[in-house]
Structure 1
Amino acid sequence: MSPIRPRAALSALPSYAAGKPPVPVEGLVAYKLSSNENPWGPVPAAQEAIAHAAAGVHRYPDPATVRLREQIAQTLGVPAEDVVTAAGSLGALSQIIAAFAGTGADGVADEVLYSWRSFEAYPILVTTAGAANVQVPNRPDGSHDLEAMLAAVTERTRVILLCSPNNPTGPSLSQAAVDDFLAKVPDDVVVVVDEAYREFQSDPDVVEGVRTYQAHPNVVALRTFSKAHGLAGLRVGFSLSQQPITQQLRKVTVPFAVTELAQAAAVATLANPDQVAQRVNRITAERDRVQAELAQMGCWVPGTQANFVWLDLGEDSERFVAACTEQALAVRGFAGEGVRVTIGEPEANDRFLRVCRNFSPLPSAPGHPVP
C-alpha cells in the first residue's frame, strides 16, 4: 500500500463525469449531445483573434485581463472593477468557494447550500474546500424549492448556489422569486446566481444576475463564454459582484488562469453580439421544436430555458443512453435519475426524437403517471 496520504476529504470526493464522445456506428454521422456545447462554434472574429494571438503563446497573458474586463463592463453596463475573470464559470465558482467557505476557525465545516440535482461540480468544489454540502431536493418538476432552501439555512451557511437555468434539469428562477428569497437570507451569506446558460433564456421574468448583484452586496453572478459563445475549449468565464466580494476573490485568483488566446477570443465575440445572437437563435428554435415534438408524443420534459432538455427516466436512464449510443448519439446519463440531451444540429435532434419515438416508457408529468 502506498505511504502517500491524501487529504481525508478526498475519500468522499465524487468524480466529475464529463460528457463522453459518441461511439462510431457504421453508416451514421456521429453527434455529441452530452456536453451542452454550441454546435456552430465561435463567431469568425473570435477564430481570427485566436489565430493572431497564437503567435504570442510564449508570453504570459495579462494577469489582470484588463481588455477583457473592460469589454465585459462595456457590454453589460457595469464597472470593470466588478468583473473578476477565471477559467470558465467553474473557475469563477472555485474562487468564490475558496474565498468564503471551508473549515472555520473552530474546526467545524462551513456549509454551502444548493438545490439537487444540479451542476455536478458543486459537491466536488465544496468538498475540496473542506466545507459541507447541504443539498435540498429539487421540486418534482426539476426546479429549485426556494422555501425548503430557506428552511435549510443555518448559522454555518456561508454560500448559497442558485443555478438558473438549472443544469441538468432546465427550469429557471424568476426575478420575483429570487428577490423574495434574498429578502429572507442573512446579509452575511454569499448568494451565487449561476447563469452559465443566460443567453438562451427568452422569458422576460427570469432572474437577471446583473440587476440582482447591483441591488445586493452579498450576490455574485456567474457567466461563461463556453456555451452561447462557443469557446468551451478555451476555458474563460467571469463573476460579477460588488467590491467587498471582488476584493476577496482577487486574493484567491490563480495567476494567468485566463490565457491570451481566451482573452482575445472573448473580446472578439463580445464585439459581435449580432452574430452570437444568430447562433443562439438557431439553437433556441431547435430547442422549442424538440420540446414541441416531445410533447406531441406524450413525453414530458421540464420547461427549459437552456440549450438542453432533461428526460426524467429514473431507472430507465441507462437503457435510454444505450439506445442513443446505438444510433451514434452521445447523451449525458445520470444513473437512476435521468438523461440530459444537448440541443445540437437539426439532424442530430431529429435522430434523438426518433430514439424517443421508439422508446418506452417515456417520462410523464409529475403526478400524472402513464396508465
Structure 2
Amino acid sequence: MTTQEQLPRFRAAVRELVSYRPEKPALSPEGRSYALAANETPFGPLPEVARAIQEQIGGINRYPDNGGQALTAEISERFGLAPDGIALGCGSVGVTQQLITAVAGPGDEVLYAWPSFEAYPLLTKLAGAVPVAVPLREDVHDLAAMAAHLTDRTRLVFVCNPNNPTGTAVGRAELEEFLGRVPPGCLVVLDEAYHEYVRDKEVPDGLSLLPGRPHLVVLRTFSKAYGLAGLRIGYAAGHPDVIGTLRKAYLPYSAGSLAQAAAIAALRSGEEVARRTDLITAERARLTAALEGRGWRLPASEANFLWLPLGERATAFGAHCAAAGVSVRAVAGAGVRVTLGLPADNDAFLAAAASFPPA
C-alpha cells in the first residue's frame, strides 16, 4: 500500500482544491433523460461547421496554427477589432486561466461576485492568489459593493454579464460607472459567454466598451450559442499591449485545428445562430411565464438558462428533478440553474417542477 510519505509533495493550494464536478446524467423510471444542467445548446452542429470539421480531418496529424491567424482575422473582420487585440484560448475558461496566470500571483487579490462562474475561485487558488467574493444583491452584481472591495492588492476583477448561474445582467450606465472606479493598474474582465442570448437593449455589447479603456478585457466563447462546447475554443479582446502579454501565458497548440476551423464556420453562420438563439429566448419567456404563474420567484434572465433562488431547498429540488430524469445544476444553499433546451425537454422540467412546492 502506498503511504502518504511516498507520494510527491504537491502545493498546498492544489491539495486543498475540490475538483470541478459536473452533474451526473439523470434517468427517469421510464429510462428518459433530459440534459438541462450544462448550459449547452440543444441543437446539433451547424451545417457549415460539420463540413469544416470534415475538411480538416485529413490534417489532424499536424499541429494547428499556434497563432490562430485565420480565426483571428475572421473575428477581427466580423467585430471590427484589431487582430493584435485578440487572443485565442481553450474555451473562455482557458483564456480565464491565462489571464489569472498573467496578472495575479501569490498574495494578489482576484475579485468577483458570488455566486458566479465557479472556475473563478478555483483558478485563482490554483495560481496562489487570493479569491475575494462579493455577494450578489437580489441575484444581480452589486457593482458598488465590488468597487468598495477594491484594494491596492486587487489585480483582477471578473464581471460575468449575463451572470452564471443567475442569468442576470447589468446595464451600460452601471458598467461604465464601475469601470471608472477601477484604478488603471487593475484589469477588469467582462465575461460575456452568454452574450448572444441577451435581448435587453440596456445591456451593452462589451466590445463597444473597449475603446479608451486599456484596463478592460472582454471574454467570448464558441461553446454556448455557437454549439462548439466539445471543441473548446474561445477568445479575449482588449488593448494590444494587454493581449500581447496574455498570449505569453497561452498553452501552445491548445486551440486545435478542428476547433479553429469550426469557429470560423460558426461565425459565418450568423443567420442560423440568430434563429437558434431566438428559439431559446422564446422558450426562456415561455418557461418564465409558466413558472411565475405557478408562484415561483425567479430573476429576469438574459442567458440560456433560468435561476431558481431556492436557498437551502436547492439540493432537494435538484434530486427531485433527477428522479424525473431531468438534470439541473443545483448550487447547495443558493439555488438551481436550469438550462433551456428543446420544448419537450423544457416541458419535462415544468412537469417535474409542478410537483415541488415553490415556497
TM-score range, shorter chain: over 0.9
> Would you say 1:119 and 2:117 are equivalent positions?
yes
Letter in 1 for 2:241: P
Equivalences for residues 163-178 of structure 1 within 5 A: 163-178=160-175
Q: Are 1:41 and 1:229, in contact at CA under 8 Å, matched by a contact in 2?
A: no
> Would you say 1:70 and 2:73 are equivalent positions?
yes
Where 1:310 maps in the other structure, the secondary structure is strand
Q: Among 9, 14, 19, which residue is 2:23 paired with?
A: 19
With over 3 angstroms needed to count, the CA separation of the structure-2 counterparts of 1:11 and 1:84, relative to structure 1, is: same
The aligned counterpart of 1:51 is: 54
The Cα shift of 1:31 comes to: 1.1
C-alpha separation between the residues in 2 aligned to 1:169 and 1:65?
33
Query: 4+ runs of 1 displaced by more than 4 Å?
Result: none
Q: Are 2:111 and 2:132, in contact at CA under 8 Å, matched by a contact in 1?
A: yes
Letter in 1 for 2:35: K
The aligned counterpart of 2:37 is: 34
Letter in 1 for 2:269: N
Query: How many aligned positions are there?
Result: 355
Equivalences for residues 306-345 of structure 1 within 5 A: 306-345=303-342
C-alpha separation between the residues in 1 aligned to 2:321 and 2:280?
20
Name whichever of 289-298 and 5-14 sits farther off. 5-14
Q: Are 2:194 and 2:304, in contact at CA under 8 Å, matched by a contact in 1?
A: yes
Q: Among 119, 132, 135, which residue is 1:137 paired with?
A: 135
The aligned counterpart of 1:2 is: 4
C-alpha separation between the residues in 1 aligned to 2:193 and 2:307?
17
Q: Are 2:310 and 2:336, in contact at CA under 8 Å, matched by a contact in 1?
A: yes
Q: Are 2:169 and 2:203, in contact at CA under 8 Å, matched by a contact in 1?
A: yes
The Cα shift of 1:168 comes to: 0.3
Letter in 2 for 1:336: G
Q: Are 1:89 and 1:238, in contact at CA under 8 Å, matched by a contact in 2?
A: yes
The Cα shift of 1:26 comes to: 4.4
The Cα shift of 1:342 comes to: 0.2
Please report the RMSD computed on the Cα atoms of aligned residues, expressed in angstroms. Answer: 1.1
Where 2:253 maps in the other structure, the secondary structure is coil
> Would you say 1:289 and 2:291 are equivalent positions?
no
Q: What is the TM-score of this pair, normalised by structure 2?
A: 0.97
Equivalences for residues 267-278 of structure 1 within 5 A: 267-278=264-275
> Would you say 1:93 and 2:96 are equivalent positions?
yes
The aligned counterpart of 1:106 is: none
C-alpha separation between the residues in 2 aligned to 1:177 and 1:315?
31
C-alpha separation between the residues in 1 aligned to 2:20 and 2:204?
28
C-alpha separation between the residues in 1 aligned to 2:76 and 2:355?
49
The aligned counterpart of 1:190 is: 187
The Cα shift of 1:19 comes to: 3.3
Q: Are 2:26 and 2:323, in contact at CA under 8 Å, matched by a contact in 1?
A: no
Where 2:307 maps in the other structure, the secondary structure is strand
> Would you say 1:79 and 2:85 are equivalent positions?
no
C-alpha separation between the residues in 1 aligned to 2:61 and 2:333?
47
Equivalences for residues 141-290 of structure 1 within 5 A: 141-290=138-287
C-alpha separation between the residues in 2 aligned to 1:20 and 1:186?
42
The Cα shift of 1:331 comes to: 0.7
Where 1:179 maps in the other structure, the secondary structure is helix
Letter in 2 for 1:66: Q
Gaps of 5+ in 1: 104-108, 364-371
Cα deviation 1:174-211 (Å, max 9, x = unaligned): 11101000111101100000000000001111132111
The Cα shift of 1:173 comes to: 1.4
